[in-house]
Structure 1
Amino acid sequence: MTDDREPAVNISGGDTGGGTAAEFDPATADTRAERVVDRLGELYWQKTYGGQDAFTCLIRTILSQNTSDKASQPAHDALIDRYDDPDRDLAAALADAEQSELAETISSAGLYNQKSEMIIGAAEEILAEFESAAGFDDFVREAAPEGVRERLLEIHGVGPKTADCVLLFAGGRGGVFPVDTHVHRIYRRLGVAPPDADHEDVRAVLEREVPAAKCGFGHTASIQFGREYCTARKPACLEDPDACPMGDVCDQVGVYPETDEVVDPSVAAD
């Protein structure tokens, strides 16, 4: 297993929550989006962001695309076990990796042929421009966030969510609110973002309306909230309107308790 500073989930309560307690007060929030994040702050403990190796974070995020943490974590651990040699740069090792061997190594993550090609291509590109994984790490931590994001998006296989996760978990940059499927669903269902907003539109709303210092927590806590309460097919409010801690600030876009129906918010808006 790897020494990864990012816990798999935000654990509610206690020092094992992955970080330190934070001050969250929904009564003083300036926007609905901030009020939601502050409410999440009453459910989950804040964790510390930044500190991960940027190249390793990039690889892990690529592996997590279109799959669960349960599937991608073993693939990440197997990759590290096979290719992370203390005497050799990891980017160099993966740039030289045999594609079929790498695909076999990460097979638990799904789409392993596609992802192995992405990883080798990213390693080759990073090695050519930054000379090493350490050089790439320096760039992610020290360059202007806008420039880092733009450069990351130029790498084949790196989309906005992957780029933002690298900025957040490796660069420790404030004001970054990565949008995955949970975040995209939740904030449109709440009515914080327009029902037909794409991932980038949702990100723009959240980064505008949530204070920079709360964005990282907002991202990870929203994912946990989506898993526990606001699931895609069976949100807690469907059976019990009082079961969801966000019930009083949610527009329930696309959720119809009277008919037991749930649709994507964009469909509800048609």
Structure 2
Amino acid sequence: MPADEPAENISGGESGGGRASAFTTGEAATRAEEVVDRLGERYWQKAYGGQDAFECLVRTILSQNTSDVASQPAHDSLIERYGPGGPAGRGDLVDALAIADQQRLAETISSAGLYNQKSERIIAIAEEIRAEFGDEDAFDTFVRDGEPGEVREKLLSYDGVGPKTADCVLLFAGGQEGVFPVDTHVHRIARRIGLAPADADHETVREHLEREVPAKKCGFGHTATIQFGREYCSARKPACLDDPEACPMADLCEQVGVDPETGDVVDPSEA
């Protein structure tokens, strides 16, 4: 695995979970698979699963509308206070957060932004999970062993949990193959490259990717696409604007919404 894989990353490095894996090389069946294969060669191939489901859910909520740089300290502070051994810990994170003081929790996670909204949602979800499942171990078993469609439906029923958050829990905690969470990077890049229609919403992009990328490659396809978006295919200044050869995906990309001649970059849906 490359040495420059981020060490603190909701999607990638060691704290993001996962274990080194290897994919079968050979001719890709679809262009989407070819893109993912190339990203896997550049960044990493990993198999996911094994995170505690409730902690993964909380961590993904903290990451909403912010960066890992901001959400990681919030997660660490939350675990330090409410996890086992913390001053507000009760041995069970669901139980500790279900009875947490909202203002104190908001202060604890303030680095993540939108901390009042996120603290209210985390407490409400903890209350629901405690009422239905009892504790975090039972919820973890449900996410890991439950039927994926049923688990996804349950996660989506919680206020503040959208498709991307639900899919991240299915991937990073449940270890479900064939799950390709779509965040802003994946949504932009899939449409810019031409792997999904230019006007596709997040759910439509997910459907295209999960249909055209082999199930075992979806997890690392998600994490590697995010890294590619950070390094090469940013929203406002993709690498191809400076040099068409600077992007490792140049020969596979349709550059939807990107005009290297004028330097104009728009959302693919506006191209």
TM-score by length of 1: 0.92
Q: Which amino acid aligns with 1:35?
A: E
Q: 1:89 offset after TM fit, Å?
A: 1.2
Corresponding residue SS for 2:233: coil
Task: State the number of aligned residues.
Answer: 257
Pairing 1:254–2:260 present: no
- Unaligned 5+ segments in structure 1 are 1-5, 12-16
Structure 1 segments (4+ residues) deviating >3 Å: none
Deviations 1:109-164 (A, max 9, x none): 00000000000001000000000011100000011000000010000110000000
Query: Match of 1:14?
Result: none
C-alpha separation between the residues in 2 aligned to 1:100 and 1:45? 40
CA contact (8 A) 2:144 2:173 kept: yes
Q: 1:19 offset after TM fit, Å?
A: 3.8
Residues 1:18 and 1:84: Cα distance change in structure 2 (over 3 Å): closer
Q: Which amino acid aligns with 2:168?
A: C
CA contact (8 A) 1:24 1:42 kept: no
Query: Which one of 100, 104, 121 corresponds to residue 124 of structure 2?
Result: 121
CA contact (8 A) 1:238 1:257 kept: yes
Query: Which one of 110, 114, 119 corresponds to residue 111 of structure 1?
Result: 114
Deviations 1:22-64 (A, max 9, x none): 2353x51011100100111210121231000000000000000
Identity of aligned residues (%): 71
Residues 1:21 and 1:90: Cα distance change in structure 2 (over 3 Å): closer
Q: Which amino acid aligns with 1:64?
A: S
C-alpha separation between the residues in 1 aligned to 2:65 and 2:222? 17
Query: Which one of 237, 240, 253 corresponds to residue 240 of structure 2?
Result: 237
C-alpha separation between the residues in 2 aligned to 1:19 and 1:129? 31
Query: Match of 1:31?
Result: 30
Query: Match of 1:146?
Result: 149
Higher deviation after alignment, 64-73 or 35-44? 35-44
C-alpha separation between the residues in 1 aligned to 2:23 and 2:91? 43
C-alpha separation between the residues in 1 aligned to 2:142 and 2:78? 23
Query: Match of 1:189?
Result: 192
CA contact (8 A) 1:37 1:218 kept: yes
Q: Which amino acid aligns with 1:63?
A: L
Q: 1:18 offset after TM fit, Å?
A: 6.8
TM-score by length of 2: 0.92
Q: Which amino acid aligns with 1:156?
A: D
- Unaligned 5+ segments in structure 2 are 1-6
Q: 1:7 offset after TM fit, Å?
A: 5.2
Pairing 1:43–2:42 present: yes
